[in-house]
Amino acid sequence: MEFMKELGLEGVLSGTYAGEWISGEGRDQLVSVSPATGETIGTILQTSEADYERVMQSSTEAWKKWRMTPAPIRGLVIRDLADELRKFKEPLGKLVSLEMGKIYQEGLGEVQEMIDICDFAVGLSRQLYGKTMPSERPEHRIQEQWHPLGVIGIITAFNFPVAVYAWNAALAAVCGDAMIWKPSSKTPLCAVAVQNIVNRVAKRHDCEGVFNLIIGKGSTVGERLLQDKRVPLVSFTGSVPMGRHVSETVGRRLGRTILELGGNNAVVVMEDADIDNAVNSVFFGAVGTSGQRCTSTRRVLVHKDVKGEFVSKLVEKYQHVRIGDPLDSSTVMGPLVDEQAIVAYERAMDEVKKAGGKILYAGERIEGKGSFVKPCIAEVKNDFKIVQEETFAPLLYIIEIDSIDDAIEKHNDVPQGLSSSIFTRNFHYAEKFVSPAGSDCGMANINLGTSGAEIGGAFGGEKETGGGRESGSDAWKLYMRRLTSAINYGSEFVLAQGIKFGEDD
Ligand code: UN1
């Protein structure tokens, strides 16, 4: 495939970058498989324990120089990276589609999300503002500066194999951090391709050691990263159980984490909603990316007066969903990522039936090459055990509600709290949903779906979603340390709080 060559993906690839690619005998191989065909598309040499140490040391060296590089100059590197990504948008979008299985349009969207966050970070590089405060003491002042943190860890999931890295990397770079990226072992080629693009830019700016890569098992190199006291911050995207482990391990050494864990995102459809808009948004939210976004729509809380119309329009759409090769432009839904994902999907559908759920559109495995399934819609009760869990598959739950209060109560009655939305034209419903007594998620939208956020807002959620924020707004502060300085520009010894100490009055 020509685009693989363009991305520098030929032969057995190194999965370790420490200012240079590290390779050689004696490393375990990792095979990358296309979920659409089951065929091998590449082989990667995994990072060894000794490699990890080398990565850590070279990153630390690079960081010492990087932290003293003026932030606007660091921004120029990210400006170039945005341009480079624009050049590689199509091949990289194709690779995302090939290796992860999302459709090409969504692969392109992911690269665009990388470009957008880079553009955002360039502006940010001149806006890392600290505050000044009036001092209570004469001829004193107080100021705040934001300083780089150090070498940070970025652990990303398979479902957004390139964009989530960029959210972290672009901000971390302008904030003056060096970084070690550990991508999902399900999407190593995407990581190597991105690293190749980053390297072209970093070479031109003589900062190769800032952006580093390790590929290997969570239980080996991943664990090293979590336990490493030299890593002040670990940004982790993945499941709730893994996130709990990350939080405990990093927390035990009093390191910082940014956690972006599972969601159980719901759309509320009120009796006055624009039903067609709601149906289109739920269709994208539930079937897009084959239901494998953290922000995927998992539940629809629909008012009893419009349930019939909503469900029949949605089922109609499901009947025409085009499932197949994610690189074919007519496809709407690609495969699930692997066999394990299908098994989890089948298990969840069984649980729904056992609990007394009503299947409105039957999902099932599609026999043949690749990990394809048909999506599923089921009418359930919000308190079914399976409904309380996140199943990373195109399984959509319909739950009836009879008022805005009923909707909000059921909406919040799950352990997770990432994204949410309401469809209504009623000002009171909409405002109630985004009020302190409304959605308890990190994101609550009005008249648009739960997935597909722009980079400008802070991305993340509450409760078991982990509380982290990434991407836009002031999420950058998490990648820096705050230095508060009180400065005496006079010559008097004056204590705060009016304290007199060893002085005669
Ligand atoms: C994720 O699923 O981990 O809002 C990220 C969205 C995308 C990012 C999702 N911009 O759906």
In a domain, 50, yes or no: yes
Domain of 205 in residue numbering reads as: 2-128+139-261+466-483
Rounded to the nearest angstrom, the distance between the alpha carbon of 453 and the centre of ligand 1 is 7
In a domain, 488, yes or no: no
* 157 Cα nearest atom in ligand 1: 3
Same domain as 424, residue 316: yes
Are the C-beta atoms of 300 and 310 separated by less than 8 Å?
Answer: yes
Query: Mind giving me the DSSP string for 320-368?
Result: T--BS-TTSTT-SB---SSHHHHHHHHHHHHHHHHHT-EEEE--EE--S
Residues with CB under 6 A from ligand 1: 113, 159-160, 164, 237, 293-295, 451-453
What is the rounded CA–CA span in Å between residue 87 and residue 81? Answer: 10
Mean pLDDT score, 484-503: 95
| Best residue for ligand 1 mutational test, from 294, 445, 448, 469 (most atoms within 8 Å of Cβ) | 294
Ligand 1: residue whose CA is nearest its atom 6 = 452
Rounded to the nearest angstrom, the distance between the alpha carbon of 494 and the centre of ligand 1 is 52
Residue of 99, 113, 260, 464 marked active site: 260
Instruction: Render pLDDT for 165-223 as a digit per residue (tens, 0 to 9).
Output: 999 999 999 999 999 999 999 999 999 999 999 999 999 999 999 999 999 988 889 99
Are the C-beta atoms of 192 and 225 separated by less than 8 Å?
Answer: no
In a domain, 499, yes or no: no
Same domain as 432, residue 287: yes
Query: Mind giving me the DSSP string for 441-472?
Result: SSEEEESS-SS---TTSEE--EETT-S--EES
Are the C-beta atoms of 195 and 24 separated by less than 8 Å?
Answer: no
Mean pLDDT score, 66-79: 98
pLDDT recorded at residue 25: 87
Same domain as 270, residue 250: no
What is the rounded CA–CA span in Å between residue 383 and residue 401? Answer: 13
Bridge partners (DSSP) of residue 485 are 143
Dihedral of the CA atoms 325, 327, 333, 334 (nearest 10)?
60
In a domain, 227, yes or no: yes
Residue 260: active-site member: yes
Are the C-beta atoms of 265 and 443 separated by less than 8 Å?
Answer: no
Residue 376: active-site member: no
> Does the pLDDT at position 504 exceed 80?
no
Dihedral sign from CA coordinates of 4, 6, 8, 11: positive
pLDDT recorded at residue 218: 85
Mean pLDDT score, 324-341: 97
* Confidence label for 502 from pLDDT (cuts 50, 70 and 90): confident
In a domain, 209, yes or no: yes
Ligand 1: residue whose CA is nearest its atom 3 = 294
Residue with tokens 């499941």: 239
Same domain as 410, residue 449: yes
* 293 Cα nearest atom in ligand 1: 2
> How, if at all, do strands 373-374 and 16-17 pair?
unpaired
| Best residue for ligand 1 mutational test, from 295, 420, 455 (most atoms within 8 Å of Cβ) | 295
* 294 Cα nearest atom in ligand 1: 2
SS3 393: coil
CA 211 to the chain's CA centroid: 18
As given in the structure block, the two tokens for residue 36 are 């659409």
Rounded to the nearest angstrom, the distance between the alpha carbon of 313 and the centre of ligand 1 is 26
Dihedral of the CA atoms 222, 226, 230, 231 (nearest 10)?
90
Are the C-beta atoms of 237 and 160 separated by less than 8 Å?
Answer: yes
Rounded to the nearest angstrom, the distance between the alpha carbon of 455 and the centre of ligand 1 is 10
Residue with tokens 């900062």: 207
Rounded to the nearest angstrom, the distance between the alpha carbon of 124 and the centre of ligand 1 is 21
Same domain as 299, residue 245: no
pLDDT recorded at residue 1: 83
What is the rounded CA–CA span in Å between residue 320 and residue 330? Answer: 12
Residue of 294, 379, 390, 441 marked active site: 294
Same domain as 211, residue 74: yes
As given in the structure block, the two tokens for residue 238 are 């993945």
Dihedral of the CA atoms 206, 209, 213, 218 (nearest 10)?
-160
What is the rounded CA–CA span in Å between residue 106 and residue 104? Answer: 5
The pLDDT mean for the chain works out to 97
pLDDT recorded at residue 505: 59
Rounded to the nearest angstrom, the distance between the alpha carbon of 312 and the centre of ligand 1 is 28
| Best residue for ligand 1 mutational test, from 155, 260, 292, 293 (most atoms within 8 Å of Cβ) | 293
In a domain, 445, yes or no: yes
Which positions ≥6 away from 92 have C-beta within 8 Å? 7, 85, 107, 111, 162, 190, 193, 194, 197
Query: Mind giving me the DSSP string for 82-130?
Result: HHHHHHTHHHHHHHHHHHH---HHHHHHHHHHHHHHHHHHHHHTT----
In a domain, 503, yes or no: no
Number of H helices, E strands in the chain: 14, 26
Residue with tokens 């190199």: 221
- Which of 151, 182, 165 has its CA nearest to residue 85? 165
Domain count, the chain: 2
What is the rounded CA–CA span in Å between residue 60 and residue 62? Answer: 5
Residue with tokens 């400008």: 456
Mean pLDDT score, 447-454: 97
Same domain as 477, residue 340: no
What is the rounded CA–CA span in Å between residue 225 and residue 141? Answer: 40
Rounded to the nearest angstrom, the distance between the alpha carbon of 480 and the centre of ligand 1 is 24
Instruction: Render pLDDT for 228-259 as a digit per residue (tens, 0 to 9).
Output: 999 999 999 999 999 999 999 999 999 999 99
State which H helix or E strand residue 422 sits in: strand 419-423
As given in the structure block, the two tokens for residue 143 are 């100021």
> How, if at all, do strands 373-374 and 364-365 pair?
antiparallel
Mean pLDDT score, 57-65: 98
The model carries a pTM of 0.97
Instruction: Render pLDDT for 263-295 as a digit per residue (tens, 0 to 9).
Output: 999 999 999 999 999 999 999 999 999 999 999
Same domain as 278, residue 219: no
In a domain, 394, yes or no: yes
> How, if at all, do strands 358-361 and 376-379 pair?
antiparallel
* DSSP-derived secondary structure letter, 189: H
CATH number, domain with residue 393? 3.40.309.10
Same domain as 236, residue 380: no
SS3 4: helix
Which positions ≥6 away from 90 have C-beta within 8 Å? 3, 108
Backbone angles phi, psi at 21, to 5 degrees: -70, 135
Same domain as 94, residue 54: yes
CATH number, domain with residue 47? 3.40.605.10
SS3 192: helix
Are the C-beta atoms of 17 and 197 separated by less than 8 Å?
Answer: no
Same domain as 270, residue 257: no
Same domain as 231, residue 184: yes
pLDDT recorded at residue 220: 86
